[in-house]
Amino acid sequence: MNNPHPSFDEIYMDLATNLAFKSHCVKQKVGAVLAKDTRIISLGYNGPPAGTHNCDEEWPETGCERDRKGSCYLALHAEANAILYATKNKVDLDHSTLYVTLSPCLPCARIILSVGIKTVFYLNSYAAYKGIDLDEGVEFLKKFGVKVVPFKEHYRTIQPV
């Protein structure tokens, strides 16, 4: 018989998925949850830094400007926002777990490794989203001992009773 109670992993990925809806990005909405010892320690979603422009309000058709590599000029990634909020509030991230709806890019992977996150669950592939052949961030994290788990294998839609 299946366990009717969702796991913490499922709950946190559901929360990350719902947080993505808070994003003001018109290109891709991403959510992130940081947890440690079955407790949420930080949340984040992709978007511009506080005090700048919300892309969906300022540029609803096109989104914000692009940099020379074609990336959003203003956007902070969901996992970076969650990490920045935690560190700003002096939260210890060592041995924490990240749940994110899009696998980390290489720059975010470097930050994840540097702050001591030990496990990353992701729902969708950054490489597939960008149309590239390799999830560089995922490979980087694996190379340096961070456990990286594609969550689709474990994910179930939670049905309220």
Catalytic residues: 79
Tokens for 88, please give them. 């700003």
* Residue 147 vs residue 58, higher pLDDT: 147
**pLDDT (0 to 100) of residue 121:** 97
Long-range contacts of 130-138 (CB under 8 A, 24+ apart): 135/103, 136/105, 136/106, 136/109, 137/103, 137/104, 137/105, 137/106, 137/107, 137/108, 137/109, 138/103, 138/104, 138/109
H or E element that contains 122: strand 119-124
Q: What is the average pLDDT across 62-85?
A: 84
C-alpha 14/C-alpha 101 separation (Å) is 9
What are the distances in angstroms from CA 51 to CA 32, 33, 134? 21, 23, 34
pTM of the predicted model as reported, rounded to 2 decimal places: 0.89
pLDDT digits (tens, 9 = 90+) for 106-129: 999 999 999 999 999 999 998 888
Identify the three-state secondary structure at position 11: helix
CA angle 95, 96, 97 (to 5 degrees): 125
What are the backbone dihedrals phi and psi of residue 41, each rounded to the nearest 5 degrees, phi first? Answer: -115, -15
Q: How many CB atoms lie within 10 A of CB 26?
A: 18
